[in-house]
Structure 1
Amino acid sequence: MDAAIETLFLPLKNGDVPAGARTLFIGASAHPYLKELKNVDIWQPFKPLADTLGGYDVRTLENIPAERVYDLVLVNVPKQGEEARYWLACGLRCLNPGGTILIAAANDAGGGRIQKWLKDLEVETDSLSKNKARAVWGRRPENKPKLLEQWIDEGSYALLQSGDGEEFVTQPGVFGWSKIDIGSGLLAEQFDNPKLKGRGADFGAGIGYLSRELLIDENAVKELHLMEADARALVCARENMKGYEGDCTLAYHWTDLTKLQPQIRGGLDFIIMNPPFHTGAKTDIGIGKDFIQTAARTLRKGGTLLMVANRQLPYEAALSSLYSTVRVVVERDGFKVIEAVV
């Protein structure tokens, strides 16, 4: 089990933190003790983790509430700084007076800094360390902390300027939130090699950068599915695609692309993708291989996959086992663009 999640629930198990009449779990993940809590709301924007919570008696939220309605807020603190501080500030904001915030992070994901962050929010804290992780907790201060709104503003939706002057809505924590990925830029340059047309999908669409670049130059795309595991990124993508639809029908899917996609009926003509290759801080090419397999099952016979990857990642064997032809279109700046035809 995840070290941070296991450590997060220890203060509740030990009685150091009382259970609340109403609880919010930000960045929720499955844990047996979650079933011991009553009246629980959860917010988890990452689809694979959200899917693990289906067997719990909890209410799923699309957004973190701004109202003071909770007696206890749990936060599974992410590694990215602005994102993490945003989650903490939002969690503190929605506590009832005297309510408790309980947070945790693995030591290698910032566990050593989370107590300071709560102190920066004027919370008097207690803590424990176990499982190479740290849990910190404390009560909501009587007065509004000076940094609360600043941290919420810094972690909210914002505009990203691309290198060619385009603007994209983004948010700290989503992929490519602070700059356009070099690999994605290289992939976008190849959209006329081969020319993409008909029905297609953007696997791991993120904030919609690749989809928008595709539709700027291609009027032969009639249907495009933006498929993404991070619900926050899809919110950005919807905003970023406004005005670029033309004659193309757009559909947005919050989904886990390591699994089959039954919502896509009929084989697609093309798929574009820049698949993730990290689980936490570790390189994990298994995710990319799963994307490749899902793409092969979603494309029609003769359909095209156009993908980008770091040059050293060995995807060619997986591609050759599922596609009739595989070729490297271009290699540059440490990346390679690969075309594979079913």
Structure 2
Amino acid sequence: MSSSAYQTWQIGPAHVGDRSVPVASKPGVMAHGSIDTPAMMMAEWISAMDTPAAGARSLHLASGNGLVPAVAMAVGFAPDAFDRYKANAESTRRSLAAAPGVVAGAYAVHHEVLANDLVPATSCALATIRIPTDKHGVQQAVAEAFRALAVGGVCLIAGANDEGAKPAAKLLAQVFGHARLDAQHSSCRLLVATKLAEAPVDASSISSPWLDQHRFHEVPVTVADDRIVLSTRPGVFSWEHLDEASGILGDIMRIAPGESVLDLGCGSGVLGVLAARQSRTGRVVLLDADADAVRCARRTATAAGCRNVEVRASDVTDAVADEVFDVVVSNPPFHLGKGTDLAIPRAFIEQAYARLLPGGRLYLVANRTLPYESLIDECFGEVRTAHDGRRFKVIGAVRRV
């Protein structure tokens, strides 16, 4: 698959009950090329609902490709959809925009983790949660859903058993006072609860400090003999400590004074800040698809005093489509959902090549079992190995023309 294929959107019909709704997708979007069973379970439940009252709002957390909010809009809701990953948020926006007869103001899509002040308290009749992968994320999502729902509003939460569906059911019951298992198949569960009172039954179960989006976890680390304090949040890659791969790449990469650097998939910003300090005056741009990672990296760079750093939300390099750099550094993601997906690192490598000046260098760190060498060789015509360790390797190349 080429980089252009990664960037090519497709919109097709998704059939839910007796309804057909448009759903946009491309590589990098959750459930691309497949059906996400938990999302389909929620969509089927919503499709069978009676038409809601005029102006009824719905909240959708982790909206993915937009299937669930698209069905909610088809039923008659005005959806507010949220997803932390840029490609998912864009997929949701395209899905809703493609609905027949859609009018301005019928929906809102946000590249954010949580609704917070974007959705007023008690303003929604329906809330849906596609279970996130971390326990803090589930706690935050249930708290946000309860806050946004009016009394009488319904919360749906769905996910696979190995994603934490059973603990999510327990949490839902603690907050709402009950949780009904409405459906289960393909090792997935759909849980339903109705908000019966203004206050949660057990407020302590959702008293997470991470509901405050201005709260960060500060992690002091030392890389290449340079001390950096990382700002992180739950859900951001390796949020509680410096991951080993980034530490190895940070110790190996060399940035000359004045060189411009692109950090692809910056996470909380450790490699980008280290590059900015080594470059001193060179322009350094940090990119990440995760909305909270972008916020964390900005805070990390500001605390480090790096005035030559800019952090942008981006699906791979779409935020720097017309820019070129002397160096690209990356610790690319290779998981999409629970599986290994090489479409994303392939796009990282191909787009890194496109963003490098002639003579520019790529530094990439990866699990040593991943076959990135062939991907790099296809683009650059060479592969250089800077580190071959027990668990991780640092490989790269130089763009010749």
- Calculate the TM-score normalised by the size of structure 2: 0.77
User: Partners in 2 of 1:200 and 1:140 — Cα distance?
Assistant: 50
Q: For residue 70 of structure 1, what is the aligned residue in structure 2?
A: 124
% identity of equivalent residues: 26
Per the TM alignment, residue 316 of structure 1 is displaced from its structure 2 partner at its CA by 0.6
Q: Any residues of structure 2 matched to 1:272-283 within 5 Å, and which? A: 272-283=329-340
For residues 32-69 of structure 1, give each alpha carbon's deviation from its aligned partner in whole angstroms, at most 9, with x where no partner exists.
52331421111112111111112315212344135332
Q: Given the alignment, which residue of 34, 38, 45 partners 2:72?
A: 34
For the structure 1 residues 205 and 115, does the alpha-carbon distance in structure 2 shift closer, same or farther, using more than 3 Å as the test?
A: same
- Calculate the TM-score normalised by the size of structure 1: 0.90
For the structure 1 residues 217 and 40, does the alpha-carbon distance in structure 2 shift closer, same or farther, using more than 3 Å as the test?
A: same
Q: Does 1:139 align with 2:184?
A: no
Q: Does 1:236 align with 2:290?
A: no
Q: Any residues of structure 2 matched to 1:1-342 within 5 Å, and which? A: 1-15=35-49, 21-29=56-64, 30-31=66-67, 32-36=70-74, 37-55=76-94, 56=96, 57-61=106-110, 62=112, 63-66=114-117, 67-132=121-186, 133-142=188-197, 143-147=199-203, 150-154=206-210, 157-164=215-222, 166-192=228-254, 195=256, 197-220=258-281, 222-246=282-306, 248=308, 250-257=309-316, 261=318, 263-342=320-399
User: Partners in 2 of 1:89 and 1:17 — Cα distance?
Assistant: 26
Q: For residue 7 of structure 2, what is the aligned residue in structure 1?
A: none
SS at match of 1:241: helix
User: Partners in 2 of 1:16 and 1:130 — Cα distance?
Assistant: 22
Q: Tell me if structure 2 keeps the 8 A contact 1:7–1:131.
A: no
User: Partners in 1 of 2:184 and 2:81 — Cα distance?
Assistant: 24
For the structure 1 residues 11 and 196, does the alpha-carbon distance in structure 2 shift closer, same or farther, using more than 3 Å as the test?
A: farther
CA RMSD of aligned residues (A): 2.4
For the structure 1 residues 216 and 7, does the alpha-carbon distance in structure 2 shift closer, same or farther, using more than 3 Å as the test?
A: same
For the structure 1 residues 87 and 196, does the alpha-carbon distance in structure 2 shift closer, same or farther, using more than 3 Å as the test?
A: farther
How many residue pairs were aligned?
Answer: 337
Q: Tell me if structure 1 keeps the 8 A contact 2:175–2:206.
A: no
For residues 255-309 of structure 1, give each alpha carbon's deviation from its aligned partner in whole angstroms, at most 9, with x where no partner exists.
211xx63634342111110000112221222321111011111111111111100
Q: Tell me if structure 1 keeps the 8 A contact 2:136–2:234.
A: yes
For residues 140-182 of structure 1, give each alpha carbon's deviation from its aligned partner in whole angstroms, at most 9, with x where no partner exists.
2423343357543156543142444753221111111122110
Q: Tell me if structure 2 keeps the 8 A contact 1:198–1:223.
A: yes
Please identify, of 46-55 and 7-16, the stretch whose mean Cα deviation from structure 2 is larger. 7-16
For the structure 1 residues 96 and 190, does the alpha-carbon distance in structure 2 shift closer, same or farther, using more than 3 Å as the test?
A: same
Q: Tell me if structure 2 keeps the 8 A contact 1:261–1:298.
A: no
For residues 56-89 of structure 1, give each alpha carbon's deviation from its aligned partner in whole angstroms, at most 9, with x where no partner exists.
1521234413533212111111121111111111
- Structure 1 segments of 4 or more deviating over 6 A? 16-20
* Structure 2, unpaired ranges of 5+: 1-34, 97-105
Per the TM alignment, residue 139 of structure 1 is displaced from its structure 2 partner at its CA by 1.6
Per the TM alignment, residue 26 of structure 1 is displaced from its structure 2 partner at its CA by 1.0
